[in-house]
Structure 1
Amino acid sequence: MHKPVEAARLFAALADPTRLALLVILRSGPPRSIARLSANSGMTRQAVTKHLRILEDAALVLVARTGRETHYSYRPGALDTARTALDAIAGNWTAIAPSTEG
């Protein structure tokens, strides 16, 4: 399993509904700028930027700077890390769960 700190950062990033919505948007299309992501979200650019930084720190998005703009995109395979961590946790739970047999 990945280091617990890395897994915790990943799951914390995924635990927020706003960040999940941003991730879905980024996964479903081309890279987008902060201005474009904030345009119809009802959030300020600063709020969107804060959420995107958390997604970046959790290695869920890619960042490309073009001139004065920063574009964000979904990192292919980013959720594979979450799957791996969950599989490891599930294995650990199976090993320590009390037996239901009689």
Structure 2
Amino acid sequence: MSDVFRALADESRRSLLDALFARNGQSLSEMAENMPMSRQAVAKHLAILESANLVSTAWRGREKLHYLNPVPIGEIVRRWVGKFEDARVDALTDFKEQMETSEEKRRA
């Protein structure tokens, strides 16, 4: 999972992932057209994203297409974000129950 965090730490790589989210299945040339960096820099960033399993590739003839793989990001959400969300939802549920109980006591 540390390779995923390392890959996501770079703003350029996050921009590449955003581009794939907007339009999946792009070639290196297509991605380099819309990035403020050289084609070689895009290729290096894509290789890092691919090694972190955030991007998968498929060949279409002589063209290598890049696809977003959301699974590692989903694992991060479940592992790191989900547990904090669960605690927040639990706290709000407890607060709601306390408010309803105090309201019922005031009416009685």
TM-score (norm 2): 0.68
Q: Where do 5+ consecutive residues of structure 2 fail to align?
A: 85-108
Matched residues in 1 for 2:58 and 2:41: separation? 19
Match of 1:21 in 2: 15
How big is the alpha-carbon RMSD for the aligned residues of Structure 1 and Structure 2? 2.0
Match of 1:83 in 2: 77
Match of 2:4 in 1: 10
Match of 2:41 in 1: 47
Q: Where do 5+ consecutive residues of structure 1 fail to align?
A: 1-6, 91-102
> What is the letter of the counterpart of residue 83 of structure 1?
V
Identify the structure with bigger relative contact order (alpha carbons < 8 Å, sequence gap 6+): 1
> What is the letter of the counterpart of residue 73 of structure 2?
L
Aligned-residue offset at 1:87: 5.2
Deviation above 6 Å: which 4+ runs of structure 1?
Answer: none
Pick the structure with greater CA Rg: 2
> What is the letter of the counterpart of residue 17 of structure 2?
L
Aligned-residue offset at 1:77: 3.0
> What is the letter of the counterpart of residue 66 of structure 2?
Y
Correspondence for 2:53 among 54, 59, 81? 59
